[in-house]
Amino acid sequence: MSVIIFTEIDNGALKKSSLEAVYYGAEVAKMKGTTATVLAIGEASEAELAKAGNFGATKVLHANDARLATGNIQAYADVLASAVTQENAEVVILAKSSLGDAVAARVAGKLKAAIVSNVTELPDLSGGFKVTRSIYTGKAFATVEMKSDKKIIAIKKNAVSVVESGASAGVEVFTPALKDADFAVKVTGTHKASSTISLPEADIVVSAGRGLKGPENWGIVEDLANALGAATACSKPVSDLDWRPHHEHVGQTGIKVSPNLYIACGISGAIQHLAGVNSSKVIVVINKDPEAPFFKAADYGIVGDVFDILPRLTKAVKAL
Amino acid sequence: MKILVCVTSVPDTTAKISFTDGDTKFNKAGVTYITGPYDDYALSRAVELKEKLGGTVTVLNVGESDSEQVIRKCLAIGADDAIRVNCEPKDSYFTAVQIATIAAQENYDLILMGRESIDFNSGVVHGLVGEMLGIPSLSPVMKLEIEGTTAKMTREIEGGKEDIEASLPLVLGCQEPIAEWKIPNMRGIMTARTKPLRVVEPVGDDLTITEKFTLPAPKGACKMIPAENAEELIALLKNEAKVL
Ligand SMILES: Cc1cc2nc3c(=O)[nH]c(=O)nc-3n(C[C@@H](O)[C@H](O)[C@H](O)COP(=O)(O)OP(=O)(O)OC[C@H]3O[C@@H](n4cnc5c(N)ncnc54)[C@H](O)[C@@H]3O)c2cc1C
Ligand SMILES: Cc1cc2nc3c(=O)[nH]c(=O)nc-3n(C[C@H](O)[C@H](O)[C@H](O)COP(=O)(O)OP(=O)(O)OC[C@H]3O[C@@H](n4cnc5c(N)ncnc54)[C@H](O)[C@@H]3O)c2cc1C
């Protein structure tokens, strides 16, 4: 009855969010007196995959069929379900993502497993298997008991504080049978921004709203983000106006983020915006209106003009 | 084109969230219910496709009788008929079983859903239903065109998007800008009253039990830094908040 962690590979390395899931899975395995196995699909070196051991995994199953290169959801779900069967796993852990959610849902369908998403803490196993999840886009939490034999848990960023052990995991090649039907969906093109830091993965997010006045002014936002090693985000009207791409839009109807630090520049703090960012650890608000509602949700605030403040903050960060 | 659109009836995005009965029940008092915003995109695209290609749009909700207000609004926007599975849907798997059971009895070319519900935000019901029916599921889809029996789509991925082609039938989770939200007109509202709404009973059991709800701890006071000393913020983030 082991624990399996579904991970994602990006540019030959396990994604940061996946490593957090590995640590979470290893902690669950410890509680259950069993071991944690990682499933990694795609191209990566053995040395890179062995690093999962540093996060508590004992073994990595590596599936690297050329047909799996495009992130085909049905094929990935079949691979994960085979791994669950082979390892006789009771619990499947993954980090929430556009691929992970889709794969996990199909595997839940195959295994008749309860699936709980947006889990924010380690489970409580003292009476049944209970998890805490965020609901109403971060406005509340629910404690949920999972009753099925197999359980699937999709964790939210910062669900655990990772402690690295320095250990290394054994890597095994994994070659489950794939069906042609798994490849009925064809990915005909991929358009990815060349920007370095992915928004849902980022520890620091610099976000800007309509207060920036126009897309030509985003340089001061990007400069601060670059200095901090942060991802950039925006409010909904900014992406609706095409000032910024849609995948940067955060909030109730956009990406939900829970970074360590969220810096909001020229954003009023409408309830729908707050819903997507309220689980950030620390929130900084910069707004010229002292009455802006965002200050009520902030830890640090500056009443001021973004065009004055942002370049000064960038300079101060560079001076650190 | 025979389309099924699955919609949720959810608290308005500005609703104040609170709980009753010892934090075991959502407090509905004073809360306005709306169609899930993503479900609205799914419905709007379905109605556009029907107008272009002909066919029917059926709306499905797994919910109690108070969801009917949202269902009638969907009929007013242009759906032809509706089905409500009469139960309190507390769990993604259970909800998916209800949808898959109905869908298995009809041959829908497309099953459109929202990317996620705005109450539980799981984003998994489409994948579950796709698996239960043995057909592909994709989400979040931001563009959808139908050519014969092929769907051409754009799906959002982290930091970008991908173009996808697949044969019908499909289950899709939708998001903007797949369509413009439609607003019901007077004629729509009048005809919605007489469009068929079938109520069926649920099958199967929940795999989870929601034990209790909690609200986040209230935020402490916001520490204000005078604009003339803005640089101090960086030192505070480093030494006090320890996030740099
Ligand atoms: C105590 C409680 C009572 C509830 N009562 C009701 C109620 O009376 N009526 C109601 O509509 N919802 C109700 N809900 C909401 C509930 O149905 C959730 O939407 C459901 O559990 C699925 O959540 P999810 O996050 O897994 O959906 P997701 O996977 O995020 O949903 C993706 C898409 O699946 C479709 N979908 C999801 N749920 C439903 C559904 N119930 N019916 C049709 N399509 C759906 C939608 O298109 C949605 O956009 C209730 C929730 C709770 C906790
Ligand atoms: C169903 C629904 C879903 C929604 N979903 C989302 C969502 O997911 N995400 C989202 O963001 N919104 C969402 N919205 C929209 C939301 O209600 C707000 O309209 C939006 O968040 C406002 O964006 P903003 O703060 O950039 O713009 P505004 O509200 O116009 O605020 C601009 C702010 O900039 C400040 N400002 C102006 N100039 C300067 C300056 N020089 N220096 C400093 N500050 C300055 C102003 O004081 C003001 O506070 C949704 C709305 C609805 C109805």
Say how far apart CA A194 and CA A207 lie, in whole Å.
18
Domain architecture of chain A: domains with CATH: 2-183 (3.40.50.620), 199-318 (3.40.50.1220)
The yes-or-no verdict on residue A193 having pLDDT over 80 is no
What is the reported pLDDT for A69? 82
The pLDDT value given to residue B139: 93
Mean of per-residue pLDDT scores for chain B: 94
B13 lines ligand 2 (CB under 6 A): yes
| Residues of chain B neighbouring A136 (CB-CB closer than 8 A) | 11, 17, 118-119, 121
Question: From residue A216, how far is each of A209, A222, A229, A314 by CA, in Å?
Answer: 13, 11, 21, 18
- The closest-lying atom of ligand 2 relative to the alpha carbon of residue B13 is 1
Task: Answer whether B60 contacts ligand 1 (Cβ < 6 A).
Answer: yes
Per-residue pLDDT tens over the stretch A304-314: 999 999 999 99
Select the more confidently predicted residue: A137 or A143: A143
Alpha carbons A155 and A242: distance in angstroms, whole number = 31
* Ligand 2 atom nearest to CA at A276: 8
- The pLDDT score that the predictor gives to residue A98 is 87
Taking residues B3-31, report their average pLDDT. 93
Task: Give the residue among A84, A93, A91 at the shortest CA–CA distance from A155.
Answer: A93
Rounded mean pLDDT, B135-144: 95
**Residues of B whose CB is below 8 A from A312:** 230-231
pLDDT > 90 in chain B, percent: 84
Q: pLDDT value at position A83?
A: 96
Residue A60 has pLDDT above 70, yes or no: yes
Query: Strands, DSSP E only, in A96-150?
Result: 114-119, 130-135, 140-146
Instruction: Give which of A151, A312, A80, A238 is closest to B225, Cα–Cα.
Output: A312
Contacts with A99 from chain B: Cβ below 8 Å: 157
Domain range annotation of chain B: 2-211
- Supply the pLDDT for residue B180: 87
Using a 6 Å cutoff on CB, does residue B206 contact ligand 1? no
Q: Provide the residue type at A268 as one letter.
A: S
Contact B128 A316 (CB under 8 A): no
Q: Which of B101, B102, B104, B49 is nearest to B80 (CA)?
A: B49
Distance (angstroms) between ligand 1 centre and the Cα of B186 equals 28
Q: Quote the ipTM score.
A: 0.91
Instruction: pLDDT band for A196, please (50, 70, 90 cuts).
Output: low
Report d(CA A106, CA B113) in Å as an integer: 16
Residue A195: the pLDDT is 64
- Residue owning tokens 């965002």: A294
A299/B223 CB distance under 8 A:
yes
Instruction: Say if ligand 1 is within 6 A of residue B90 CB.
Output: yes
Q: CATH number of the domain at B2-211, please?
A: 3.40.50.620
Residues of B in contact with A195 (CB under 8 A): 159
**Confidence label for A26 from pLDDT (cuts 50, 70 and 90):** very high
Ligand 2 atom index nearest CA of A238? 26
Closest residue of chain A to B225, computed from CA coordinates: A302
| Residue B92 CB–ligand 1 contact under 6 Å | yes
Kind and range of the H or E run holding B61:
strand B56-63
Q: Nearest residue of B to residue A189 by CA position?
A: B163
Percent of chain B with pLDDT over 70: 100
